[in-house]
């Protein structure tokens, strides 16, 4: 049998289907650059030089990956279980806000590592708590979780800004923000690099999530619910309980992402800060087809484009929006190649 009739699930085809949109998008981006009178080769070289080939640039890229990887892990858990938790941004921000509010105080009052562990635990808890209402509505009444989690985002953004302006605000600082965690008290860095322990933690977590989802009984139960909830009921799985668990785990991971960002890099949350990582990572996770290792690769590419693209755009005298166009192109092309592949695979 020829290669073209190979099963669509074959590893080579899967890699090709995942990478092809990326390559095509870069090619189309190159054409746009050329039409704008910029040198595409120079542009991409600048991106790579800034974000990968340059020592401090590469470190920045890796540091940016930490929260993105944890959010990817969060999304992989719920997407594989067929639950669309799009509330990761709210869970992330609220958890970051709580972790930041207590960070300086707890680090001062407790030994360093117990304080850090407690802060991570708090962030996970706050994230999970913020998903319980959508989880309940889904499990009890079948309310569409896409709507309910998106709504919870707005509430989460508002609540965290409110808390920072009232309870959690640093009275000694003129602008509304939490108390700064001193640089020395942030997550330890590896050697003399910018790379903090949170990066290692994030990679370990997404790999662990991948193993759990693909190799364990728990992961299989979630996948059964995701693929066919009626079969799950029929097979005797407690779908309600699993729904709660999935929301809790997914949102806790989003909360951990918030903790890593605040305790590792920022040290503070301002009332107007919300990075909106979640909805950026959603397409990357789809591009990776919910595969943890592949997600690391796509998050890396995204981080490279963010870090390197900003400077490359500036040098090419293009607005930053050009990067958004590139990312959108990748997604559109992903959808098209998916459609073409499924037509051809039939």
Phi, psi (5° rounding) for residue 7? -60, 140
User: Binding of other proteins at residue 228 (CB under 8 A)?
Assistant: yes
Residues 6+ apart with CB under 8 A from 248: 128, 131, 132, 135
> How far from the centroid of its chain's Cα atoms is residue 320's Cα?
21
H-run or E-run covering 114: helix 112-130
CB nearer to other proteins: pick between 96 and 139: 139
CB nearer to other proteins: pick between 53 and 235: 235
- Write the binding mask 185 to 224 for other proteins: x where contact by CB under 8 A, - elsewhere: ------------------------------xxxx-xx-xx
CB nearer to other proteins: pick between 66 and 225: 225
Nearest approach in angstroms of CB 84 to other proteins is 19
> How far from the centroid of its chain's Cα atoms is residue 340's Cα?
28
Q: Which of 11, 142, 174, 236 binds other proteins (CB under 8 A)?
A: 236
DSSP code string of 304-344? HHHHHHHHHHHHTT--THHHHHHHHHHHHHHHHHHHHHHHH
User: Binding of other proteins at residue 237 (CB under 8 A)?
Assistant: yes
Q: Which of 158, 188, 190, 227 binds other proteins (CB under 8 A)?
A: 227
Q: Give the C-alpha distances (Å, rounded to integers) separating 72 from 37, 69, 134, 277.
A: 36, 5, 20, 10
CA-closest candidate to residue 305, choices 28, 55, 46: 46
Q: Kindly determine how many residues on this chain lie close enough to bind other proteins according to the rule CB under 8 A.
A: 23
Nearest approach in angstroms of CB 294 to other proteins is 18
Q: How far apart are CA 130 and CA 257, in angstroms?
A: 14
Largest CA distance in the chain: 73
User: Binding of other proteins at residue 238 (CB under 8 A)?
Assistant: yes
User: Binding of other proteins at residue 342 (CB under 8 A)?
Assistant: no
User: Binding of other proteins at residue 235 (CB under 8 A)?
Assistant: yes
Nearest approach in angstroms of CB 35 to other proteins is 34
Nearest approach in angstroms of CB 76 to other proteins is 17
Sign of CA dihedral 164, 167, 173, 179: negative
CB nearer to other proteins: pick between 115 and 213: 213
Q: Give the interface with other proteins as residue ranges (CB under 8 A).
A: 1, 5-7, 215-218, 220-221, 223-224, 227-228, 230-231, 233-238, 346
């Amino acid at each position: 049998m020829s290669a073209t009739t190979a099963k669509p699930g074959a590893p080579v085809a899967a890699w090709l289907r995942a990478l092809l949109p990326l390559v095509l998008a870069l090619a189309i981006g190159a054409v746009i650059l050329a039409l704008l009178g910029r040198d595409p080769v120079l542009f991409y070289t600048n991106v790579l030089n800034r974000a990968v080939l340059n020592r401090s640039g590469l470190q920045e890229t890796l540091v940016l990956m930490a929260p993105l990887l944890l959010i990817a892990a969060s999304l992989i858990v719920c997407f594989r279980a067929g639950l669309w938790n799009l509330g990761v941004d709210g869970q992330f921000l609220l958890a970051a806000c709580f972790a930041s509010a207590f960070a300086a105080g707890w680090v001062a009052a407790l030994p360093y590592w117990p304080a850090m562990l407690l802060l991570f635990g708090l962030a996970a808890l706050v994230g999970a708590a913020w998903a319980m209402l959508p989880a309940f509505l889904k499990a009890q009444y079948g309310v569409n979780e896409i709507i309910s989690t998106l709504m919870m985002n707005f509430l989460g953004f508002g609540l965290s800004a409110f808390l920072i302006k009232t309870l959690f605000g640093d009275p000694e600082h003129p602008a509304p923000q939490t108390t700064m965690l001193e640089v020395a008290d942030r997550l330890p860095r590896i050697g003399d690099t910018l790379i903090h322990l949170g990066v290692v933690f994030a990679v370990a977590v997404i790999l662990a999530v991948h193993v759990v989802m693909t190799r364990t009984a728990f992961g299989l139960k979630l996948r059964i619910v995701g693929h066919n909830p009626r079969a799950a009921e029929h097979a005797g799985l407690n779908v309600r309980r699993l729904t709660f668990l999935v929301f809790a785990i997914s949102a806790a991971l989003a909360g951990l992402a918030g903790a890593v960002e605040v305790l590792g890099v920022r040290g503070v949350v301002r009332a107007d800060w919300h990075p909106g990582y979640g909805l950026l990572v959603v397409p990357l996770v789809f591009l990776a087809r919910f595969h943890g290792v592949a997600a690391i690769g796509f998050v890396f590419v995204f981080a490279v484009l963010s870090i390197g693209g900003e400077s490359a755009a500036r040098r090419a005298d293009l607005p930053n929006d050009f990067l958004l166009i590139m990312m959108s192109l990748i997604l559109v092309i992903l959808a098209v190649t998916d459609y073409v592949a499924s037509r051809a695979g039939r």
